[in-house]
Structures are given as structure tokens and as C-alpha cells.
Amino acid sequence: MTLADLGWDADFSRHFEPHRAQGLCPGRVALEHQHVYRVYLEDGEPLAHVSGRLRHRATGRQDYPAVGDWVAVAPGTDTRRATIHAVLSRRSRFSRKVAGSVTEEQVVAANVDTVFLVSGLDDDFSPRRIERYLVTAWEGGASPVVLLNKADLCDDVGACVAAARTVAAGAPVLTLSCRTGEGLGALEPWVGPGRTVALLGSSGVGKSTLINRLLGRERQRTREVRERDSRGRHTTSHRELIVMPSGGLLIDTPGMRELQLWEAGESLEGTFGDVVELAAGCHFRDCRHETEPRCAVRAAVEAGALARGRLAGYLRLRRELDHLARRQDELAQAEQKRKERAVHRRIRDLKPRE
């Protein structure tokens, strides 16, 4: 493989110049497992660790390499080993809040051109989940494409497509069946040479089967979903960059039952453009569309012009982001106080004792 095959271009090359001057070479992270990385180089695929300097400078896991990252690498004397000294600026990234109570960013995939948001057209189909993925994809800078898989198992594909298009805010919505191969040809515009696609979706939607279809071989392990609720079990346990026969690149990710947002800037309003447009008619400029009088958004819901679930989805995501912002502010203030106390202790220790 050449670097161009892996998505390298003139812009990345220009940003890499300071590292090249230090004798380092560019590589792309293909796999990560507990801070051990498989890196694609032009002349090999060594396992790599981050340097002590990079580890010392990292303020959180978001500063460590993620699958899809371009990194500056020093090959070891053993060609099977290497050291990562720097991570190049990410052109795009798909991030989420880490699971649990910890408030920290986890970069799921980096330098992605397109995000395939895979949803199953079975009993687990959820427009609300599609909204959540769309917000995160647009915030990270990648272009989302909604894939409705398992069309062969759905009695009313048209209704599901209409529901998905209502929430897709302009993103393409495609139907396919990985089991039968129906609709796979429509994906070709996004999986060309040097292009990187990340597959995202909950367990059981068919991501692994889709990858096997695109690769033309059974590379990824698959499992049947549970009949009682159409939910699947994790068959992918780690993120991985896979090179396709066509020259495109796929990033497979473990299924996520719950995607916790990390940040959403303008992407929340972009995903819910219909709600934002209606909000322009609210009596109060800061209307939150909950209990305020003369709310145009709630009036549209009562009149049937806006689906009640659509407003509920918007409010749920906004509350989640508001809570996250407050938590981030609290942590920032606590960190600032910690630094101030450390400075005061150093000043006190430097004072001459009488």
C-alpha cells in the first residue's frame, strides 16, 4: 500500500513537514487495543506504543491516537515495533462521551470522509437513534449517509424510509439488504480509492455483514439477533481500519446501544432544522418549547404539523447537552482551582524561612 491508498494527500503532507525534519515517517492507525496500536506504514504494519513525551502531554484520552489518525512514527530496530511521537490534526472525528459517569471525550474514528449510519428495518428501527447519530456525525465534520438495512424483513419499507427522511435533514437515505445483496451497488460513490467510511450503529443492525459483503469475503464474525426484541450481541469488540479491494477504507466499530453525545455546536440545530424554523415564531426569543406560553413549536405539534416524537427527541438531546456543558464547566473550574493551589504551594515553598 502507498500512503495515497490510505488517504494521504498534499494537505496532510504539508502538516507533516516538521515531523519529517525530525526523521519520523507518516503512518495511519489501523487498530487500537489498550494503548497498543497497529499502524499502516508504506513498508510495513508494526505494533506501536506512544512515546513518553506524547503520554506526558496528553490531557485525556482524546489526545491519544484513535483509529483513522495519521501519526508521526519512529520505526524500531525490530521492524515489527514502532513508537508514535505525534498525532496530526484531525480533519474530522466522530466522538462520544465515554460510557458511565466519567465526563471525558472518546474519539471513535478520525479522518473520516463519510459516516454510514446503519439502522435495521426490523423491530429495533428507531428514528430517535438516527437523530442522535446524525448530530454527532455532523459535529465531527463527516458527511452522514443513512443506511436502512434488512429491507427483506420489513413489511412497510416505504413508511420506514419516510420516517428516516423526516429526521435525516438532507442526508441521503438508502435501503439495502446485506443478506440478499439488494441495494449494495448504491454505496459505490462513497467507497472509492483513498476514501474513508466509518460504520456506526447499534448491535445487530448488520454492520459486520455489510463489511463482509463489501469485502467479498467472510472477514467479520456475525451473529443472529434475538427474536424477542431484534437486538443483537456485540460481534465487533474493537475499532479497526480495513482496506477494501476497491481501494476504499472502512472503519468498523463495536455496536453502541447508547451513544452519549460529547458536543453538538450548531449540529443540533442543523439536524432539527424544522424545529428551529418553527421556533422563529415563538413569542419569547429564548423559548425552550416546554412550558412557555405562545410557543409556536408546541402549537405545531398540537396542530399535527410537527410530530410529537420529533420535538421530544430534540428536547431530550438538548437537555443532555446542557447537562454535559454544566458538567464540563464544573470540571474546568475544579481544574483551574487545582492549578491555582499548586502555584500557591510552590510560592509558599520558595519563600525564605525566618
Mean pLDDT of the chain: 84
| Cell matching residue 240 | 479497526
- What is the predicted pLDDT for the residue at 262? 58
pLDDT digits (tens, 9 = 90+) for 188-207: 999 989 899 999 888 788 88
pLDDT band at residue 80 using 50, 70 and 90 as cut-offs: confident
- List the alpha helices (DSSP H) in 107-223: 127-140, 157-168, 207-215
Tell me how far apart the alpha carbons of residues 231 and 236 are, in angstroms, rounded to a whole number.
15
| Cell matching residue 297 | 413549536
| Cell matching residue 270 | 442543523
Collect contacts of 13-22 with beta carbons under 8 A, ≥24 apart: 15/88, 15/89, 16/70, 16/72, 16/88, 19/72, 19/85, 19/86, 22/72, 22/85
- What is the predicted pLDDT for the residue at 232? 44
Cell 487495543 -> residue: 33
Cell 459486520 -> residue: 208
Beta carbons of 207 and 252 less than 8 angstroms apart = yes
- What is the predicted pLDDT for the residue at 125? 86
Output helix, strand, coil percentages for the chain, rounded to the nearest 5: 35, 20, 40
pLDDT digits (tens, 9 = 90+) for 247-296: 899 998 765 445 666 566 677 888 888 999 999 999 999 999 999 999 99
Residue 278: its H or E element: helix 273-279
pLDDT digits (tens, 9 = 90+) for 245-257: 878 999 987 654 4
Q: Which residue has the higher pLDDT, 208 or 15?
A: 15
Domains and CATH numbers, the chain: 4-87 (2.40.50.140), 93-252 (3.40.50.300), 272-354 (1.10.40.50)
Tell me how far apart the alpha carbons of residues 263 and 259 are, in angstroms, rounded to a whole number.
12
pLDDT digits (tens, 9 = 90+) for 82-140: 999 999 999 998 877 766 656 677 888 899 999 999 999 987 788 988 988 888 888 88
Beta carbons of 62 and 46 less than 8 angstroms apart = no
pLDDT digits (tens, 9 = 90+) for 32-45: 888 899 999 988 89
Beta carbons of 298 and 289 less than 8 angstroms apart = yes
Q: How large is the average pLDDT for residues 132-156?
A: 89
| Phi/psi at 245 (5° precision) | -60, -30
- What is the predicted pLDDT for the residue at 141? 85
pLDDT digits (tens, 9 = 90+) for 317-348: 888 888 766 766 665 667 677 777 777 677 77
Beta carbons of 251 and 191 less than 8 angstroms apart = no
**Residues 6+ away with beta carbon under 8 Å from 82:** 27, 39, 41, 46, 47, 48, 73, 74, 75, 76
Burial class (CB in 10 A: 0-12, 13-18, 19+), 175: buried
